Amino acid sequence: MKIPFLKSSKPAEVSESPVTVRLVDEAGTLSKPIVVPKVVKSDAAWRLQLTDEQFRVTRTEGTERAFCGIFHDNHKLGLYTCVCCGLPLFRSDAKFESGTGWPSFLHPVAAENVGSSRDLSHGMIRTEVRCVRCDSHLGHVFEDGPAPSGLRYCMNSAALAFHEDGVKPAREKAFFGAGCFWGVEDDFSKVKGVTNTRVGYSGGVTRSPTYEDVCSHATGHAEVVEVEYDPAQISFGVLLEVFWKIHDPTTRDRQGPDIGSQYRSAIFFTSPEQESAARASAARLEESGKLSGPITTEIAFAAPFYEAEEYHQKYHAKHGFGSCRMF
């Protein structure tokens, strides 16, 4: 089989145009093709999120040493996702032993989720494979694989994350931004099944920012609440219902009198199932006609979370209701 040249994800200049992908829900079912924003970040932002090896491989087109990646001999059943943006890429049932020392797959989980381009580096002609959403370098595809595809998607472990089938943590986390985090934390802390909450900052380009840093609008961070929950008691879908009810997701970079990008509406997911649920929930709400305008909520893979200063934690429980200080 000839290598399927898909839409290139390596233009001369990175485009911020939306892309079409397929997501995976709680049952492992692929969604219909949906349009999602392209993920474009600065090197500084990627370095905050990735290890040195992950950055070298995915952002500078590096290759890990053979037989050194953590997934080359992984035989567990599950889903491999992009380490940079969380997009589903490969399933374990398409993985095979190639003897090359790198994880090898017959085909991606969805053709829409990977892009290819011709790679002329190192005096060779190869076909590079990238994540179509964030342009992370994944590896290469060759025409020496087994039947039926005849292809070998030779991937770098450093470019992948693995989600084992049937293995769920006793506690899961997600991060929500809905304006001033004092009130948002108070609302989520009262929900049955939520086991812990912390307020902090996420989605920016500065390591360990202070509240004053974030309020300067120079860090790119949002005020968010880390919501830890027991999936045996509450579903992520119920948390989404709470989220939509406690703020106005149609106002960009503001909630009421609080104005600024740190007050933006945001859902930072930690699993492919959470992303699928969040985007489906937003689409249903927008189609319901209950809102005054289109949803502006940022839905993105969770970047590093930095816990806010102690005086912000459980603020309403300590002091009663109030507003954030304005700078």
In whole angstroms, how large is the CA radius of gyration of the chain?
Answer: 21
**SS3 of 187, please?**
helix
Written as six digits, the tokens of 110 are: 């969805």
Q: Is the dihedral of CA 230, 234, 240, 242 positive or negative?
A: negative
Cβ-Cβ contacts under 8 Å for 185 (sequence gap 6 or more): 197, 198, 199, 225, 313, 314, 315, 316
Q: Is 24 helix (H, G, I), strand (E, B) or coil?
A: strand
What's the CA gap between 247 and 260, in Å, rounded? 15
- Calculate ∠ Cα 69-73-74, nearest 5°: 95
Look up 324 and say whether it is catalytic. no
Residue tagged active-site, from 82, 85, 134, 154: 154
Phi-psi region of 253 (alpha: psi -120 to 50; beta: other; left: phi over 0): left
Q: Give the distance, in angstroms, between the CA of residue 90 and the centroid of all CA atoms in the same chain.
A: 16
C-alpha closest to that of 311 among 210, 228, 236: 210
Q: Are strands 265-269 and 298-301 parallel, antiparallel or unpaired?
A: parallel
Residue from 82, 84, 134, 180 carrying the catalytic annotation: 180
Residue 121 has what DSSP assignment? G
Would you call 72 helix, strand, or coil by DSSP?
Answer: coil
- 68 tagged catalytic: no
Cα–Cα distance measured from residue 200 to residue 221, given in angstroms and rounded to the nearest whole number: 9
Is the preceding omega at residue 148 within 30 degrees of 0, hence cis? yes
Query: Hey, which residues are catalytic here?
Result: 154, 180
